[in-house]
Amino acid sequence: MTTHHWPSLPGIAYGGDYTPEQWTRETWREDVALMREAGVNLVSIGIFAWGLVEVREGEFDFSWLDEVVELLHANGIAVDMGTPTASPPAWFFANHPDARAVTRDGVPLGFGARGMASHSAPAYREAAVRIATELARRYGDHPAVVLWHVHNEYGVPVGEDYSPHSVRAWRGWLQEKYGTLDALNAAWGTAFWGQHYGEWDHIGAPATAPSVINPSQRLDFARFTDHQLRACFIAERDAIRAHSDRPITTNFMANQHGGCDLWAWADVVDVVSDDHYLWAADEEGEIGLAIAADLSRSVGRGAPWILMEHSTSAVNWQPRNVAKRAGEMARNSLSHLGRGADGILFFQWRASRSGAEKFHSAMLPHAGTESRVFREVVDLGAKLGALEEVRGSRVHADVAILWDFESFWAQDLEWRPSEDVSHDERIRAFYEKLWRDGITVDFALPGHDLSGYKLVLAPAQYALSAADAANLVRYVENGGTLVVSFFSGVVDENDAVHPAGFAAPLQPALGLRVEEHLPLRAGDRHDISFDGVRLSTDVWQEDLVLAGADVRGTYLGGPAEGRAAVTRHAHGAGAGWYISTRPDAAGLAAILDQAYADAGIRPAGHPTGLEVITRRGDAADYTVAINHTDETVSLQISGTNLLTQAVAEGTLEVAAGDVVVVRSPHAAQGADQP
Amino acid sequence: MTTHHWPSLPGIAYGGDYTPEQWTRETWREDVALMREAGVNLVSIGIFAWGLVEVREGEFDFSWLDEVVELLHANGIAVDMGTPTASPPAWFFANHPDARAVTRDGVPLGFGARGMASHSAPAYREAAVRIATELARRYGDHPAVVLWHVHNEYGVPVGEDYSPHSVRAWRGWLQEKYGTLDALNAAWGTAFWGQHYGEWDHIGAPATAPSVINPSQRLDFARFTDHQLRACFIAERDAIRAHSDRPITTNFMANQHGGCDLWAWADVVDVVSDDHYLWAADEEGEIGLAIAADLSRSVGRGAPWILMEHSTSAVNWQPRNVAKRAGEMARNSLSHLGRGADGILFFQWRASRSGAEKFHSAMLPHAGTESRVFREVVDLGAKLGALEEVRGSRVHADVAILWDFESFWAQDLEWRPSEDVSHDERIRAFYEKLWRDGITVDFALPGHDLSGYKLVLAPAQYALSAADAANLVRYVENGGTLVVSFFSGVVDENDAVHPAGFAAPLQPALGLRVEEHLPLRAGDRHDISFDGVRLSTDVWQEDLVLAGADVRGTYLGGPAEGRAAVTRHAHGAGAGWYISTRPDAAGLAAILDQAYADAGIRPAGHPTGLEVITRRGDAADYTVAINHTDETVSLQISGTNLLTQAVAEGTLEVAAGDVVVVRSPHAAQGADQP
Amino acid sequence: MTTHHWPSLPGIAYGGDYTPEQWTRETWREDVALMREAGVNLVSIGIFAWGLVEVREGEFDFSWLDEVVELLHANGIAVDMGTPTASPPAWFFANHPDARAVTRDGVPLGFGARGMASHSAPAYREAAVRIATELARRYGDHPAVVLWHVHNEYGVPVGEDYSPHSVRAWRGWLQEKYGTLDALNAAWGTAFWGQHYGEWDHIGAPATAPSVINPSQRLDFARFTDHQLRACFIAERDAIRAHSDRPITTNFMANQHGGCDLWAWADVVDVVSDDHYLWAADEEGEIGLAIAADLSRSVGRGAPWILMEHSTSAVNWQPRNVAKRAGEMARNSLSHLGRGADGILFFQWRASRSGAEKFHSAMLPHAGTESRVFREVVDLGAKLGALEEVRGSRVHADVAILWDFESFWAQDLEWRPSEDVSHDERIRAFYEKLWRDGITVDFALPGHDLSGYKLVLAPAQYALSAADAANLVRYVENGGTLVVSFFSGVVDENDAVHPAGFAAPLQPALGLRVEEHLPLRAGDRHDISFDGVRLSTDVWQEDLVLAGADVRGTYLGGPAEGRAAVTRHAHGAGAGWYISTRPDAAGLAAILDQAYADAGIRPAGHPTGLEVITRRGDAADYTVAINHTDETVSLQISGTNLLTQAVAEGTLEVAAGDVVVVRSPHAAQGADQP
């Protein structure tokens, strides 16, 4: 992280993507008036405007953009200036057909949609740096510009590239990583299926082949793809930095696009920003939202971040795009804020009449200002205006869940033991238990310093290097409580099975080894007996060989019938739990309750459906409480609701669907906060 | 429509596709004898015989075809002469590999199947005109030839073409349509996602790209594709016309292939002809058949048409190709006739032993003449022979359903609010209600003169230009009853949301505006209260803002709970109904019954399962009544059953599975016929 | 079959694929020690080692392989020497990019997986012969080498090739087959859809086209593909033979890959070998195993064969890879042995740490020697060591089921009457009935001499030449009992419907003709009355016209209601049964029981779940009895259990999950053995 941090803005940032290029000047004037009405203080512009600024290769017309920037500035609305490199213009693809990204099947992807080019094509890199440079030169010191927004959602809609440019860069990347072909052949295990390489130039991208491509190669290609995208970002960032000292970000997609290793990305931006959209089919989308927000905060190591995009109501790209209910937009926004966001922005200000996303909701919908959505946008602006003092406060968590993009890339490759095993599903299941208990969670990598956490959960750590495993073992040794779910620690960083077998590097902490995976047939369910209670499980069993662990749960059926299902191992000053099957939600809750006890963690005890998160400021705590139910519920708290200035002494009623933000003295929340 | 109309033939045309090229001369002689036995008077020949006539490029051998034409002529069987341009020969693809059609992914489609070429390739256009010219020169005046059958099922199996020839033609088509790039950029809304075009040559076909292609571009490409196919037809038609004055047709696929705008096609043929196949999974295939027949009649503005292909029993290209039951072929044929067909032809005369369609039924099946199918073919020939006087009579309808191919093309693009919304499904649902009530229906475009209809239904008019909307508003103003279903009037002819919001141009007629779409999750059902009765609905709700309309139905659950679901607006001398959700069949029936009342329409009152249609002749009415049940039912009618010469006075019994065709004096049918 | 037969080995071959190239020399020494512990006497090596032996094109390094061969030899472990031509090295694809196989869509399949090249590319053929020659030159006389293992699983993962090399070879193959284009045009029925060919060079491979490719062309392309693969084998075989007199095999995939006509392949190998893997979703995988084993024996005309690969536990390439339960590996292995296998080998000796198949089980699993799997491997080695005398004994069957790869290729093409009709499903259903009755089955082609069988079943003989049909008619005439299932005898060897209609060539044997196929809608079920009992059927009915047959079952519903469903026809000295629908298992059992009675066949009468097969040796019978149940069951037998030396007099208890192999005097088994 560089020293440039937060955009120069008062209070909480509020606004959205703004596309004046789609509208007349008359509409621009209406827009800024309505922005002011809504309390908007920051808009992102220029993100898809490359061809309207660089009208022919190397020929620039900034006139309209100048006008927009001045109009916004005159109205007190700050600018998040986008670089338009996520969507090169028509002339780019016409002039550089070789710079198109190419699919695994060899289909070059051209213009007409949202057209990312090959991230490795020299022509693309040059063009991206040129436009970024010109924008920075012109607007780098403009008082309206408080933030740079490079590109858009790296990796989406296309990240992987099988073009010749990509293949050439890939060989270079491999040469740098491995040094020698011997090292590469060893890391990839090319002796299997006769894949030995004798020349660097014989290595190709993992394109469509007769069968399954070497998984180590694919894992490295995922790393390479992530690296190339990040290199594109860095090139633009540095081009801007040469002319501007404002903070530079690019919008992540936290838990919605897995192709970028956000732990690495967070290190190269000045401020983390994230786009988040509810998954409409999920009737508890607020839990997925909370994961995204906690992850955005965690990759930035706890620093405040910006919610760069979310939606006021429905999106357009899901099978069924469910609209938000009354109040849901505010609940969503304040959950993000509670989890560390100091900026709440939307895609987009005004709904587009044309194009692929015309059915995406906006702050100003097709129905205009006389609409539920616009009224709620104005109301939210007022609410955020009352929360200025929250800015910069931080969230604290006693529990960490491991979230490792590289492990996910490896796990998602072909030919794993069971297609029913999903890291997303397991992480959600573990997270959901904590969410329902009102326990705040950070995400972490297995190699991080975990000593600050009382409890560390590993719901899906398929790939785990020996070094990272040793870190986890040390964590337990030093008094931590670790809970590991099945199909973890299986392979190392090259997707090679650990020499001593599955989960072997965790053996000191878990007191067992995994002799064999026992995936179940579709639909098979078997009970386990856990502390005398029957819990229902499915998908997976394992044949465990105990090496010190205590058996806490036993299989009552299935291939491992009669054998250990759940274990606890006392190791050093801590304890290592292992869950070798997939319990349902009630079962997982029963097991984790015991791990809580080990860790000295207690559920927060809030009413069901009341989501409560606390941010710790220099002078006070700020508790955000969101009532997801249709009834009024009571929050035990003393302090002032900043949204109403009501003062609570011990109890605050939160109306159905409502949100409160309460300023309290520090440490009023309970003994489990340090 | 030109002045050339109906083939010179006595009575109802009867026959099918005939492929003597697959058989020996001995079989030819057997064929014509059996055709005579079956009453066949018209066969279509030459449709797939290009390579056997033009044996090498520019080298023709008509000898066998001469012989076939003479043999048919000698036996009194007229010829519908096909041009074979739907399937260019092997030499064509070998000589002109660049003339292959290309998929969105860039795969050129070659020979070996039913091989349409690029509709824009100069080599294809030239070759098609050459073979059409040579055929017309040779057979244009032959007394056996009474009709020309150009090509086969345009657009099937391939219509869209992404070849360089197509891209070049597409740019020209756009230049002609838009004149300037500014106009194109505005119509397509290219400011969205940075798609601005600065050169005509930068515009590509909407081939595979990283994400969703600009929908306006795709809509125009659908129009272009339709236009190119029609241009191919016109080129052949004009080549034939230079040498022959016989009517010229091409066989449509009414409601089975949506890629051709049949309203435009009907204007360029001399007589409409259509191919129709039952969808075997549909246990009430007769309703889909009726839609196809009514649409064939409607695009021809009521003129008699030819059923160019249907099947005697099973087809071969569906997942499960259910055979027709005894009598079903006759019921199907006479339903087409009742709905305006003056020709009943089949694919094909004799079942092919080889090739992709060997399991397609035929008039003469693999089992030969000793078969149920052939016996029914002979019987049907006799029946049609008794119906000579029906020819030329016309069908009258009081109700129109809007059927707009361009709107369907737009609606079928990606990223619509819910994948559960289907124009086909809604049109079928509305049509089915009328079919069950015995009410005859025309199809129409929203821009048509609708003043002749008492009731106009818009089950699926997603795209609606402001001009067409004004036409519908005028229709209501002048006393019409209009029923509009949800997700209608959303966008204009460029797939751009109407400036004042969804359905805004219909506001005068409907008395409301649609603030927001509220798609439901999969499987969600909610009741509405309609005139005090609970109706079950699913898929969709809308947030309606009333502007004069009366609320007739109210949501009892779901996101719009408590708000208007169904409305009626008195406007001018008429009424506009709006249904903002998807009722089930009973619910839709309840609502439409009220709209009937507004329109002065009454159900016909025939027994359930008795399909009744009337054709009005110069001197009499002809009522076709088809008993789809397993019991004898009574038809209230007076007149003569032309199939048996039985005379009915007030009542006619129709046996289970049987059909009657009754000649009655005009206007005997009830007060709702003008 | 050449005169070279069985590898020079004592007793039953036992071992697996061995890949020392993946491990250190230290591990090699551990490996051979553990192999000896497990009783391993044969390992297959070199199968994926091309690039490590031919390190650059034409440059060889045999040093490590020499060392491995010597090490194995020194430890008394024989070598099955593989040629590595299933996976050409990286340099091959780099040097010969035109030798890549190409998909139907034109995508060339490159390196990185298990990379088969174009079977028609001259460069591939040359390279394959070169490496085979060099290996044979070096190891052809080595005392350790007892068998040659050419290539690996021909046709998997890619068989079909649409490259220019393939197209060129295909035209040559067609020219050789047909001689003239007239003959080809006639055989393919190119008059349909205008596919006439006037030049050999106009014929392409059946690549992606606008619609369904000519099925006769596709059937020939399947034959051509099979032929080309076999030509590759023969080229390698002959290259080896020039330098070695050891038997040569290649590993088939019996019923798991249908692209090779194993009847023809068995004729060109010295000994049949087969790979078999359980389908994990099948809870009775032992039945599929039995089919594979019986088919492996049958294609080799009864000679002993080698199970070249199976798995000790789970595989890795299925959706859910279920591990084997305790004892299951031994039950599987001994079922193969009972059905004629004299070698039991696994993929593979030691589990690979890396690559696409790291989750495939092995003899030595990731968990090492302290594991259930390795203990069972050692135990199985001991068991097989006790069975030396079984070697060379043969299996006898009274029943044959027709298994015709060419017919399957034809049936699997597009546009058949119902997608619910599957040859695999019907063959399994018929086979399963016999398996449950303890009746041993051979597979056969319809053109084989069937006179040795009392009963011949044709569950799925869609394509049947007139000559083969005549053979079946003669079989019945001469006293055989033939049972034919629906959708059989439909087309001839060119996929053309028989001139006299469906099943016409079988009419003398069946006493009926099939007038029309009557596929049912999805989910439709109808009963038939069979000998007075209601049987449940689905998927299919037919309209039968009797020509002498007796009606034994009648449709009680559906389109053929009231008509014949099951018939029996006395013809000559035998009887022909026809089943025109798909009965469920109980229904099929009821019908086949009557056919048994005709054939003089009786169920073996073993306890349910006890699989019993007998091999007949020169001096004794060997009965393998496998208890698939969880209870002890009794086998009626006298003799010695070779695995325990226990002597049974009349009865032998077989423990739950256990297997016995009993030596008995000849003909102790019952009257139905000749």
Could you report the per-residue pLDDT of C378-406, keeping only the tens digit for each?
999 999 999 999 999 999 999 999 999 99
Cβ atoms within 10 Å, residue B98: 15
Q: How many CB pairs under 8 A join A and C?
A: 200
Q: What angle do CA B564, B570, B573 make, to 5 degrees?
A: 160
Q: Tell me the CATH number at C26.
A: 3.20.20.80
Mean pLDDT value across chain A: 97
A290-313 b/e (C-beta count within 10 Å ≥ 16 → b): bbbbbbbbbbbeebbbbbbbbbbb
Q: Please say if the pLDDT value at position B625 is more than 80.
A: yes
Angle between helices C164-178 and C181-188 (to 10 degrees): 100
Verify whether the Cβ–Cβ distance B368 to C501 is below 8 Å.
yes
Confidence of residue A438 (pLDDT cuts 50, 70, 90): very high
Residue range B116-125: mean pLDDT, rounded: 96
pLDDT at A115: 76
Q: Please say if the pLDDT value at position B471 is more than 60.
A: yes
Checking ipTM against 0.90, whether it exceeds it is yes
Which of A162, A203, A212 to mutate to test binding with chain C, by most C CBs within 10 Å of its CB? A212
Say whether both A500 and A363 belong to one domain. Answer: no
Q: Please say if the pLDDT value at position B198 is more than 80.
A: yes
Say whether both B242 and B356 belong to one domain. Answer: yes
What tokens were used for C657?
A: 């999950």
**Longest Cα separation, chain B:** 76
Q: Which of C365, C392, C419 is the last residue of a domain?
A: C392
Residue B67 included in any domain: yes
Q: What is the pLDDT of residues C2-14, one digit of tens each?
A: 445 899 999 999 9
Q: Please say if the pLDDT value at position B672 is more than 90.
A: no
- DSSP annotation string for B159-204: ----SHHHHHHHHHHHHHHHSSHHHHHHHHTTTGGG---SSGGG--
Say whether both A347 and A451 belong to one domain. Answer: no
Say whether both C508 and C642 belong to one domain. Answer: no
Residue range C648-658: mean pLDDT, rounded: 97
Residue C604 included in any domain: no
Residue C214: phi and psi, rounded to 5, are -45, 120
Q: Where are the beta strands (DSSP E) in C429-511?
A: 441-444, 455-458, 481-485
Report the residue count for chain C.
Answer: 674
Q: Which of B391, B423, B444 is the last residue of a domain?
A: B391
* Ordered alpha helix ranges (H), C10-116: 25-38, 50-53, 63-74, 90-95
Q: Where are the beta strands (DSSP E) in C422-522?
A: 441-444, 455-458, 481-485, 512-519
Residue B179 included in any domain: no
Q: Please say if the pLDDT value at position A639 is more than 50.
A: yes
Say whether both A332 and A356 belong to one domain. Answer: yes
Q: Which of C153, C160, C376, C542 is catalytic?
A: C153
pLDDT at A116: 85
Confidence of residue A455 (pLDDT cuts 50, 70, 90): very high
Verify whether the Cβ–Cβ distance A111 to B211 is below 8 Å.
no
Q: Is residue B471 within a helix (H) or strand (E), and if so which, with residue range?
A: helix B466-477
Q: Is residue C593 within a helix (H) or strand (E), and if so which, with residue range?
A: helix C585-599
| Alpha-carbon radius of gyration of chain C | 26
Q: Please say if the pLDDT value at position A286 is more than 60.
A: yes
Q: What is the pLDDT of residues B298-341, one digit of tens each?
A: 999 999 999 999 999 999 999 999 999 999 999 999 999 999 99
What tokens were used for A48?
A: 């898809």
Q: Which residue of B has its CA nearest to A312?
A: B516
Say whether both B383 and B403 belong to one domain. Answer: no
Instruction: Please compute, for residue C572, the number of CA atoms within 13 A of its CA located in the half-sphere on the CB side.
Output: 16
Residue range A132-142: mean pLDDT, rounded: 98
Look at residues C127, C32, C120 and name the one whose alpha carbon lies nearest to residue C71: C32
Say whether both B369 and B271 belong to one domain. Answer: yes
- Among the partner-chain residues C196, C199, C497, the one whose CB lies closest to the CB of B353 is C497
Give the torsion through C-alpha atoms of A176, A177, A183, A188, to 10 deg.
-130
Mean pLDDT value across chain B: 97
Q: Please say if the pLDDT value at position B668 is more than 60.
A: no
Say whether both A343 and A452 belong to one domain. Answer: no
pLDDT at C19: 98
Q: Please say if the pLDDT value at position A353 is more than 60.
A: yes
What is the domain count for chain A? 3
Question: Which A residues in the span 488-507 are in contact with C, Cβ-Cβ below 8 Å?
Answer: 491, 494-497, 499-502
Residue range C434-443: mean pLDDT, rounded: 98
Q: Report the binding-site residues of A for substrate.
A: 114, 152, 317
Q: Tell me the CATH number at A624.
A: 2.60.40.1180
Q: DSSP character for A269?
A: S
Say whether both A98 and A81 belong to one domain. Answer: yes
Respond yes or no: is residue A70 known to be catalytic: no
Residue corresponding to tokens 């020969």: B89
- Cβ atoms of residues C409 and C494 within 8 Å: no
d(CA A628, CA A641): 18
Question: Which B residues in the span 365-384 are in contact with C, Cβ-Cβ below 8 Å?
Answer: 365-368, 370-373
The residue type found at C282 is D
What tokens were used for A183?
A: 């090292």
The residue type found at C574 is G
* 3-class SS shares of chain A: helix, strand, coil, % to 5: 30, 25, 45
Residue A672 included in any domain: no
What tokens were used for A543?
A: 């044949």
Confidence of residue B116 (pLDDT cuts 50, 70, 90): confident
pLDDT at B670: 44
Binding partners of A (≥3 Cβ pairs within 8 A): B, C
Look at residues B71, B87, B165, B162 and name the one whose alpha carbon lies nearest to residue B127: B87
pLDDT at C255: 85
pLDDT at A5: 81
pLDDT at C115: 75
Q: Which of C599, C622, C654 is the last residue of a domain?
A: C599
B152 annotated ligand binder: yes
Q: Which of B54, B153, B286, B376 is catalytic?
A: B153
Q: Strand C273-275 relative to strand C305-309: parallel, antiparallel, unpaired?
A: parallel
d(CA C201, CA C9): 51
Report the residue count for chain B.
Answer: 674
Which of B95, B320, B324 to mutate to test binding with chain C, by most C CBs within 10 Å of its CB? B320
Residue C349: phi and psi, rounded to 5, are -65, -60
What tokens were used for B85?
A: 């341009």
> Which residues sit opposite B484 in a β-bridge?
B458, B578
The residue type found at B501 is G
Verify whether the Cβ–Cβ distance C502 to B366 is below 8 Å.
yes
- Cβ atoms of residues C505 and C472 within 8 Å: no
Say whether both A500 and A382 belong to one domain. Answer: no
Q: What is the pLDDT of residues B397-453, one digit of tens each?
A: 999 999 999 999 999 999 999 999 999 999 999 999 999 999 999 999 999 999 999
pLDDT at B671: 39
The residue type found at A604 is A
Q: What angle do CA B188, B191, B194 make, to 5 degrees?
A: 110
Say whether both C450 and C551 belong to one domain. Answer: yes
Q: Please say if the pLDDT value at position A241 is more than 90.
A: yes
Q: Which of A309, A328, A406, A542 is catalytic?
A: A309
Torsion over CA: B273, B278, B279, B282 (sign): positive
Look at residues A104, A101, A142, A102 and name the one whose alpha carbon lies nearest to residue A118: A101
| Alpha-carbon radius of gyration of chain B | 26
The CA-atom distances, in angstroms, between C260 and each of A257, C176, C461 are 43, 20, 17
Residue B340 included in any domain: yes
Look at residues C164, C388, C208, C326 and name the one whose alpha carbon lies nearest to residue C658: C326
Q: Strand A341-346 relative to strand A305-309: parallel, antiparallel, unpaired?
A: parallel
Instruction: Kindly list the residues from chain A whose CB atom is less than 8 angstroms away from the CB atom of residue C280.
Output: 521
* Residue A29, helix vs strand vs coil: helix
Residue range A265-279: mean pLDDT, rounded: 98
Residue range C260-271: mean pLDDT, rounded: 98
Look at residues C224, C230, C139, C150 and name the one whose alpha carbon lies nearest to residue C184: C224
- Among the partner-chain residues C116, C361, C367, the one whose CB lies closest to the CB of A210 is C116
- DSSP annotation string for C395-418: E--SEEEE--HHHHHHHTSS--SB
pLDDT at A540: 98
Q: Where are the beta strands (DSSP E) in C524-617?
A: 525-530, 533-538, 540-546, 550-555, 564-571, 574-579, 582-583, 610-616
d(CA B310, CA B372): 17
Say whether both C293 and C423 belong to one domain. Answer: no
CB distance from A192 to chain C under 8 Å? yes
d(CA A475, CA A571): 10
The residue type found at B74 is A
Look at residues C388, C123, C427, C119 and name the one whose alpha carbon lies nearest to residue C287: C427
Q: Please say if the pLDDT value at position A395 is more than 50.
A: yes
Q: Which residue of A has its CA nearest to B493?
A: A354
Residue C345 included in any domain: yes
d(CA B610, CA B403): 26
* Ordered alpha helix ranges (H), B3-121: 25-38, 50-53, 63-74, 90-95
Respond yes or no: is residue C30 known to be catalytic: no
CB distance from B282 to chain A under 8 Å? no
Q: Is residue C59 within a helix (H) or strand (E), and if so which, with residue range?
A: strand C59-60
pLDDT at B115: 76
- State the residue range of the domain holding A41: 13-392
Residue C1 included in any domain: no
Q: Tell me the CATH number at A585.
A: 3.40.50.880
Q: What angle do CA A651, A655, A656 make, to 5 degrees?
A: 135
Q: Strand C13-18 relative to strand C341-346: parallel, antiparallel, unpaired?
A: parallel
d(CA B532, CA B528): 9
Q: Is residue B564 within a helix (H) or strand (E), and if so which, with residue range?
A: strand B564-571
Residue B636 included in any domain: yes
Confidence of residue A674 (pLDDT cuts 50, 70, 90): very low
Residue range C339-359: mean pLDDT, rounded: 98
Instruction: Report cis status (omega within 30 of 0) of the bond before A157.
Output: yes
pLDDT at A352: 98
CB distance from C546 to chain B under 8 Å? no
d(CA A592, CA A597): 9
